[in-house]
Amino acid sequence: MRFIFDSNTWQEIFGSISKNKTRTVITVIGVLWGIFIYIALAGSAQGLNNGFDKAFKTVAMNSMFVWPQSSSMPYDGFKTGRLMDLRLEDVSTIQNRIPEVQFIAPRIRQGDGGPNSEPVYTVKGQKSGNYGLYGDYPVYTKIATKKIYDGGRFINEEDIEQARKVIVIGERVQQELFEKDEDPIGAYIRVGTVYFQVVGVHKLANGVSFDSDSDMFIPFTTHRKLYNTGDLVSYLCIAAYDDVDVVQVEKDIKALLRSTHRAHPDDERAFGSFNLGEAFGRTMDFAFGLTFMSLIVGIATILAGVIGIGNILLISVKERTKELGVRRALGATPSEVRNLIVLESVFLTLIAGILGIILGAGVLSGINAFTKDIDFPYTNPTVPIPYVLGALVIMVVLGTLIGLIPAQRAVSIKPIDALREE
């Protein structure tokens, strides 16, 4: 160990490295390239990972949507093709019977309960537009996080109880109906034939979302009074607890709905569903696969680079046979010669590695800056410090092992033969 911390040792190493600058540079480039690829790949994979994470952030990961379709099997006296429906009572049924469910938000889309399924004509002063209208409960925000602009709010319990005529509008609605510097909060807009007071503006979340920025939300109870939809629900947004199997919960809920709505127990088409948890899981599997692959590719590239170092050192040992012979004639022990070569290898590997890490980090931050403003699931591409340290450790170990080959060769030549070689 003393050998490593001896400044004389390092002078010897610097001497022999700086003697052959071209050789050193080429050697270093091999490993530099390897670690660069490793960092760039691992960082990009992490960036995609983060990007997916961010995309799914606005929606509870373990959430699903269930909506009614039409039956595809005759059952209990009903013919095939019966239109199924969902009602508010289904919410309490599911909550009572399936304990894995954390939140249920019934939603109704304007038009689903009546003949008019067009977007609703909305007017503010001289401006107007057609926008989707939803009747919602406050619990909806527990499942699909809504980012509400400063000063605004989402629908609350009192809105529901009193069936208030309040509305949360989308970002685009605000842009189209309001002046640029006009505060929409507290303003009144006419939706259809009824005036609503704006209480919030929701920002469109990037990534997975069921809503668009031209949607407007009003209290469920207000919607049902206005459009006379009774207990009718368009679809249910359901969030399960974090630690449960969402796929199973999805199956259970659909089975329960089939039985309460008197559909055939095997009629898969009676109710439709979409499971975000599953979709998220698949995306995450993909991201994990990507990370894993980048690790493998990166490490393989590092390995190739290190083998390159070993190769070049082997040639250099051959070139330096005479020098090494002289050193041994002058009293260098075999272990001193071996350490010299191995340390040279490790030193070159480390320098190359550190340069590669710096270069890789630079490229990653460049890509990050470039993708910041475009809609691409790529956020904060970082390589975890353990990965970097791991790569450095691998490089030192490999550098040592690979350096041992030329070092062993260097000491296996007898000094007398080395000196004789012309």
Partner 1 sequence: MGSNSLHVLKGINFSVEEGELVAIMGSSGSGKSTLLNILGMLDELDEGSYDLDGVPIKNLNETKAANYRNKFLGFVFQSFNLINYKSAMENVALPLYYQRVGRKERQEKALKYLDQVGLKEWAEHLPSELSGGQKQRVAIARAMAAEPKVLLADEPTGALDSTTSYEVMDLIQKINDQGNTILIVTHEPDIADMCKRIVHLKDGIILEDKKIKQVRASEYV
Least distance (Å) between residue 333 CB and partner 1: 4
**Could you give the string, one character per residue 320-349, with x where binding to partner 1 holds by CB under 8 A and - elsewhere?**
--xx-xxxxxxxxxxxx-------------
Least distance (Å) between residue 341 CB and partner 1: 15
Least distance (Å) between residue 312 CB and partner 1: 17
Answer positive or negative: Cα dihedral of 171, 176, 177, 183: positive
Among 12, 90, 267, 344, binds partner 1 (CB under 8 A): 12
- Quote the tokens at residue 89: 């009572």
CB under 8 A: which stretch of 11-19, 71-79, 295-303, 344-352 binds partner 1?
11-19
Asked if 8 is part of the footprint of partner 1 (rule: CB under 8 A), the reply reads yes
CB under 8 A: which stretch of 45-53, 80-88, 130-138, 318-326 binds partner 1?
318-326
Question: Helix, strand, or coil here: 118?
Answer: coil
Residue pair 15/356 in contact (Cβ under 8 Å)? The answer is no
Binding residues for partner 1, how many (CB under 8 A)?
29
Cα–Cα distance for residue pair 388/385, rounded to 1 Å: 5
Cα–Cα distance for residue pair 352/366, rounded to 1 Å: 21
Question: Helix, strand, or coil here: 359?
Answer: helix
Query: What's 204's DSSP letter?
Result: P
Asked if 115 is part of the footprint of partner 1 (rule: CB under 8 A), the reply reads no
- In sequence order, the 6+-apart residues with CB closer than 8 A to the CB of 196 are 165, 166, 167, 188, 189, 190, 218
Asked if 417 is part of the footprint of partner 1 (rule: CB under 8 A), the reply reads yes
Least distance (Å) between residue 206 CB and partner 1: 59
CB under 8 A: which stretch of 13-21, 117-125, 271-279, 400-408 binds partner 1?
13-21
**Could you give the string, one character per residue 383-412, with x where binding to partner 1 holds by CB under 8 A and - elsewhere?**
----------------------------x-
Asked if 226 is part of the footprint of partner 1 (rule: CB under 8 A), the reply reads no
CB atoms within 10 A of CB 168: 27
**In this complex, which beta carbon is closest to partner 1, that of residue 10 or of residue 195?**
10
Q: How far is CA 291 from CA 43, 50, 282, 376, 391, in A?
A: 9, 12, 14, 17, 15
Q: Residue 169 is inside which H or E element, if any?
A: strand 166-170
Asked if 317 is part of the footprint of partner 1 (rule: CB under 8 A), the reply reads no
Residue pair 37/363 in contact (Cβ under 8 Å)? The answer is no
Asked if 419 is part of the footprint of partner 1 (rule: CB under 8 A), the reply reads yes
Q: How far is CA 141 from CA 107, 237, 329, in A?
A: 12, 10, 81
**In this complex, which beta carbon is closest to partner 1, that of residue 372 or of residue 414?**
414
User: What's the length of the chain?
Assistant: 422
Task: Name which of residues 162 to 201 contact partner 1 (CB under 8 A).
Answer: none
Cα–Cα distance for residue pair 95/256, rounded to 1 Å: 11
Asked if 22 is part of the footprint of partner 1 (rule: CB under 8 A), the reply reads no
Q: Which residues bind partner 1 (CB under 8 A)?
A: 7-8, 11-12, 15-16, 18-19, 322-323, 325-336, 411, 414-417, 419, 422
